[in-house]
């Protein structure tokens, strides 16, 4: 009988131990966000649910990972402070997830974090690494996040300019269109006098045209 099959038994075990909010996000495929928006509403009403939602981004199920990331990104667009306790997990674990649909949402969350100088370097390295992703969506979102960080942290504006210019030169039409708008904004922020605000590390990176070490 099907009920005695090991796979069916394993599925039942996972379902019985799964947090209800993650159970809402399972099923179907990655082309649909399922009940992600319903979960967003629930977490906004009950912020303590965010912990379970965040854990969904680290599960083995790619559908739950994607939908959890979608919901978490939407929640933190309103409450970015929810991310602070999970900073280490974002930088060390989620940033390494290769699933494109997760990266789409991790990228803007990285740009929302309050960052120390060393953490800024970590995030810049992640984002510039994403510039080589196979997904044009990941690249476009990484470009936007670089701009967002450059807007907050003046010393990283040359790095953002460098990498956005590269994508504008070689990217898809959509990437080029977004990149040109971001470059226009960055050029208004950046003048020759901003060189005095460079960190030594950022300046070395610009001169060598390599990622920050």
The rounded distance, in Å, linking the Cα atoms of 145 and 168 is 15
Closest among 64, 54, 63 to 88, alpha carbons compared:
54
The position carrying tokens 């990176």 is 205
The size of the chain, in residues, is 213
The ranges assigned to domains in the chain are: 8-114, 117-213
- Output the pTM of the full model: 0.77
pLDDT 10s digits, 65-96: 999 999 999 999 999 999 999 999 999 899 88
pLDDT 10s digits, 19-60: 999 999 988 777 778 889 999 999 999 999 999 999 999 999
Tokens, residue 183 = 């470059």
The DSSP secondary-structure symbol of 96 reads G
pLDDT tops 70 at residue 140: yes
Residue 191 — very low, low, confident or very high, per pLDDT cuts 50/70/90?
low
CB 62 within 8 A of CB 30: yes
């Amino acid at each position: 009988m099907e009920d005695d099959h090991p796979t069916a038994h394993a599925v039942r075990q996972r379902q019985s131990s799964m947090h209800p909010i993650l159970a809402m996000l399972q099923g179907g495929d990655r082309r649909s966000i399922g009940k992600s928006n319903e979960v967003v509403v629930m977490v906004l009403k009950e912020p303590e649910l965010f912990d379970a939602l965040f854990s969904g981004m680290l599960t083995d199920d790619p559908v739950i990972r994607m939908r959890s990331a979608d919901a978490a990104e939407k929640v933190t667009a309103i409450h970015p402070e929810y991310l602070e306790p999970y900073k280490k997990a974002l930088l060390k674990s989620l940033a390494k997830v290769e699933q494109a649909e997760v990266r789409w949402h991790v990228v803007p969350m990285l740009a929302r974090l309050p960052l120390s100088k060393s953490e800024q370097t970590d995030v810049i390295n992640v984002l510039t690494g994403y510039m080589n992703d196979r997904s044009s969506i990941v690249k476009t979102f990484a470009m936007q996040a670089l701009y967002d960080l450059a807007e907050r942290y003046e010393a990283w504006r040359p790095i953002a300019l460098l990498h956005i210019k590269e994508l504008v030169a070689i990217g898809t039409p959509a990437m080029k269109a977004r990149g040109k708008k971001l470059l226009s904004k960055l050029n208004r922020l950046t003048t020759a006098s901003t060189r005095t605000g460079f960190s030594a590390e950022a300046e070395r990176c610009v001169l060598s045209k390599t990622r920050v070490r």
